[in-house]
Amino acid sequence: MTEKNKIETGFGSDAKKNPQRIVFVTRKTSAKVTDDRGPLLMTYPHLLLREAIAAQILTVAVVLVALFWDAPLEQLANPLLTPNPAKAPWYFLGLQELLHYFPPFVAGVILPGLVVLALIVIPYFNVNIEGAPIWERNPARHFRNYVAVIVALTVLLAAFDAWTVAAPTLAIGAVLIWSYFAKSEASAAARYFRSRPLSWWLMTWFVFVALILTLVGTFFRGPGWSWVWPWRPYGA
């Protein structure tokens, strides 16, 4: 390989002349190699065998359920006959519940857009990478800020009468506030909640709200999106 025949690319391939950065030591870390990830096993057969077993269990389970449960089929589509309520598939019923409280632009465009955006940026924020326990740094100041956010959210949700959103929000907020005053030594629960990072609290809040909204939308909403009890069928 002669350097003469090389096409000029602006950088050379001689490592001594053009050193490359090979390690980047971030805050609170060292360049020491600490690999405690344990031994390696051959993919064939150890992983493939497990995948095959998973495939077999799944196949048996799906076949069994498909033999006894029937996929729904209603009357032929009729644009002139609107069912009441007209419900979306279950995974969108949380959104439909939001639509009940907020204008379509907020519930149908802004909020889902924000959720997708928030999911995408999770790994690009250092707070989420470091995952420091929530009350580790500046606890008093953070406590004031979080309480302010919880109060503001509750007031906003109350203004829209969105109580199926407000209730789970308040529940998570209450646990957060409790964990601030609890002593780690007092109980396993206190130790657990005090060691969770901010990202954990945000995701848990999101999961809990989404779960409640989906359950309410699926089982507790009837004609005109009014509140119904699942054990008291309407219409029929």
Partner 1 sequence: MATTLHSLLDQLRETRAWKSVFRRGPALTNRTRSQAVFGNLFLHWMPVKVREKSLAVRASYYLGSISFLLFLALTITGILLMFYYHPAVPQAYRDMKDLRFVVSNGVFLRNAHRLAAQLMVLLVFLHMFHVFYRGGYKPPHEFNWVVGVILLLVTLFLSYTGYLLPWDQLAFWAITVGTNIMSAMPVIGGKLRFTLLGGNLVGENALLRFYVMHVVVLPLIAFLFIGIHFWRVQKDGGLTVRSKDDGKE
Under rule CB under 8 A, residue 77 binds partner 1 = yes
Question: Closest separation between CB of residue 87 and partner 1, Å?
Answer: 7
Q: Which residues, other chains included, contact 130 with Cβ-Cβ below 8 Å and sequence gap of 6+? A: 197
Number of residues that bind partner 1 (CB under 8 A): 66
DSSP state of 143: H
Amino acid making up residue 154: T
Q: Which residues, other chains included, contact 217 with Cβ-Cβ below 8 Å and sequence gap of 6+? A: 87, 90, 93, 94, 96, 97
Tell me which stretch binds partner 1 (CB under 8 A): 96-104, 143-151, 158-166, 226-234.
96-104
Q: Distance between CA atoms of 101 and 111, rounded to whole angstroms?
A: 12
Q: How many residues does the chain have?
A: 236
Residues in 114-133 at the binding interface with partner 1, rule: CB under 8 A = 116, 119-120, 122-124, 128-129, 131
Using the rule CB under 8 A, which residue among 12, 13, 58, 158 binds partner 1?
Answer: 58
Question: Which positions lie near partner 1, rule CB under 8 A?
Answer: 36-48, 50-51, 54-55, 58-59, 62-63, 65-67, 69-79, 81-83, 86-92, 95-96, 99, 103-105, 107-109, 116, 119-120, 122-124, 128-129, 131, 200, 203, 207
